[in-house]
Amino acid sequence: MNEKAILAVSFGTSHPDTREVTIDAIEARIKKEFPEFPFYSAWTSKRIIKKLLERDGIKIDTVTEACERMLADGVKEVVVQPTHILNGYEYDLLVKEVRHFKHRFEKLVFSKPLISGQDDIERIIELFAKEFSYLTEREALVLMGHGTEHFANTAYAALDYAFKDKGLKNVFVGCVEGYPDIDCVRKLLKEYGPSKVFVTPLLIVAGDHAKNDMAGEEEDSWKNLLGSDGYDVECVVRGLGEYEAVRDLFAEHLKAAMNG
């Protein structure tokens, strides 16, 4: 057995439909890129892990359980690839949990989340510019991110600014739980004045936030809030993990970590 292994760590999701085309697809891309290395995976959301076990009988490792499993298998070096979007609280927690094992492994290396620098921001812009190239100037695209109280939340505003800087003035970034929020997005949309608005997740998986907060039937869903502002609204419920360009970017981050 190769004594160096890869550990992919995701937040997790209780929605099997989106898991198969996002988390599972990202992990499949990693396995394809590095077939010679043993592969392990874990989720950070203990609530979702518990739900899947009770509801579906599916056992997902926590980060600690995955580390114990690797040690039992004789792994000595671990490269951790998070599938998180930002270097936020969830990323900090997984790093802290893995580092409990720093004296038991010979080497621990942490790869980067999806958006970890300006190059990553430009890749995300290229992705959405290509995927929504059919939009006219009278149409707008709204990306719904999660948001966080962590200082890493500034990446959302930076991404919004970068879209405008690249000439994509009809793309707007908002957060469910952070700044810029939906009220900011609504204000900027009013100033822009589109006739139709497309809304899509800036989330790895298209789970509860995408299906309910974004595209749900409640009055305060983004779809209905924007509809109440007079726009024709179309929701594209597709997680970031479904895009090949995103899976490629994770693989590139991991390759850099493996070589560095």
- Give per-residue pLDDT as tens, 11-32: 999 999 999 999 999 999 999 9
Residue 146 annotated as catalytic: yes
Average confidence (pLDDT) over 59-68: 98
Residue 1 has pLDDT above 70, yes or no: no
Domain count for the chain: 2
Q: On the CB side of 61, how many CA atoms lie within 13 Å of its CA?
A: 16
**Which pTM does this prediction carry?**
0.95
CATH code of the domain covering residue 183: 3.40.50.1400
Band the pLDDT of 40: cuts 50, 70, 90: very high
Same domain, 164 and 211: yes
The whole domain housing 130 covers 118-238
Q: Using one digit for the tens of pLDDT, what is the confidence trace for 101-145? A: 999 999 999 999 999 999 999 999 999 999 999 999 999 999 999
Q: Using one digit for the tens of pLDDT, what is the confidence trace for 133-152? A: 999 999 999 999 999 999 99
CB 208 within 8 A of CB 243: no
Rounded distance between C-alpha atoms, residue 25 and residue 22, angstroms: 5
Same domain, 73 and 175: no
Same domain, 216 and 170: yes
pLDDT in the model for residue 20? 97
Mean pLDDT of the chain: 97
Same domain, 136 and 93: no
Same domain, 153 and 99: no
Measured at the CA of 16, the angle between CA 111 and CA 219, to 5 degrees, comes to 100
Give the active site residue among 84, 146, 209, 253: 146
Same domain, 234 and 251: no
